[in-house]
Structure 1
Amino acid sequence: MLRSALLYTALLFGANAALAGPVDWQAAREAGLVKLVPSESPAPVSDVEFTDPNGGTRRLADYRGKVVLLNFWATWCAPCRKEMPYLDALQAEMGGEDFEVVAVATGRNTPEKIDKFYEETGLKNLPVLLDPRQQLARAMGVVGLPVTVLIDRDGNEVARLLGEADWSSEPAKAVIRQMMAE
């Protein structure tokens, strides 16, 4: 309870990211990210390729130097439909040189269904990224959707959340700010 009060007080007064210390995972869970689980020992993420709709390839290594919120989703996933607007809002507010939301549609998601999903949910800030054969998802140990993985600037998984979350919430943004300050 005290940690939650401290977290919200810091947020209320505009916590200075430059003064932030290591991520307070317990405070984040107590403030609303109850399913967020930090890695016991951060490990490098997979180097499996994924694509964009034009066939261009990407790797998570392409994002080194940034804090990354990697999200696995699908057009048929009801919790994903609820969560994706939060990810879009987070990217709009905090995405840039130091941070990026990388949302990857995994499995069978036709371009038409992805376009319809983006239109229906109002997504404007997330590029379409694809993992059609679920190679990246499998390499990352994803067994259900949605799954979100926090990756540090060095390309290590530092935390994971199974299921949906409000990534545009103040507790989520506080975690991102703390990671960016490390």
Structure 2
Amino acid sequence: MSLRLSLTLVLSACLVGACSREDPAEPQAEAQGAALTGTIDRSRAGDLLPAVALAHPDGKELNTGALTGQPVLLNLWATWCAPCVEEMPLLDALAGQYEGKMRVIVASQDLQGAEKVVPFFAKAKYAHLEPWLDRETDLSTALGGDGVLPTTVLYDASGQEVARVVGGYDWQSPEAKALVDEAIGS
């Protein structure tokens, strides 16, 4: 892909209220009140959950390809991405509401990895989310993404994609809960 086309895609993505995956020098100042403008996209329904190794700051690894047996909501995010930061508490609450029925995985795309993510999690005190790291952005590539954050993909228990959302989303909305209920078979 040419540099000009890449830059056009990144700028276009930022204009629609999401973030590119390149780390800016400073976090986005407008994190509070960022627009949650993402919409549900079912165009890739049936795609399989890719097998990518994520790292935890404590040294554990998670192979996403082994996450079958229960639905998975997989979120790609970064500490500097305003819509990502806005939806994290909503994802944490969703993970608590569906605990034991669905696993919520948040995979940071921060290039500095644990250096940025661990303090972010310590400050936020999430009760149901773990700080998984994808420093090489392998998961974004495997999902066929264009680097727009946040990107969240819902998989059913067999590892098949149900739907995805590109951009920030209200994971406490009735529409979101209906989507999750569909994936878990409620």
TM-score (norm 1): 0.74
**1:106 partner letter:** Q
Per-residue CA deviations over 1:132-161 (Å, capped at 9, x if unaligned) read 111121111222100000111111122111
Question: What percent identity do the matched residue pairs reach?
Answer: 35
Alignment-derived partner of residue 39 in structure 1: 43
1:136/1:87 Cα in 2 relative to 1: closer, same or farther (>3 Å)?
same
TM-superposed deviation, 1:124: 2.2
1:34/1:117 Cα in 2 relative to 1: closer, same or farther (>3 Å)?
closer
Equivalences for residues 5-44 of structure 1 within 5 A: 35-44=39-48
**1:134 partner letter:** T
* Counterpart among 73, 79, 91 of residue 75 in structure 1: 79
More off after superposition, 44-53 vs 108-117: 108-117
More off after superposition, 57-66 vs 76-85: 57-66
Structure with more of its chain in helix, by fraction: 1
TM-score (norm 2): 0.73
Q: Report the aligned-residue RMSD.
A: 2.1
Alignment-derived partner of residue 183 in structure 2: 179
The number of equivalent residue pairs is 150
Is there any run of 5+ residues in structure 1 with no aligned partner, and where?
1-31
TM-superposed deviation, 1:85: 0.6
Equivalences for residues 18-167 of structure 1 within 5 A: 35-96=39-100, 98-142=101-145, 143-167=147-171
Is there any run of 5+ residues in structure 2 with no aligned partner, and where?
1-35
Partners of 1:167 and 1:127 in 2: how far apart? 17
2:46·2:160 contact (CA, 8 Å) conserved in 1?
A: yes
Structure with more of its chain in strand, by fraction: 1
**1:128 partner letter:** P
**1:108 partner letter:** L
1:132/1:46 Cα in 2 relative to 1: closer, same or farther (>3 Å)?
same
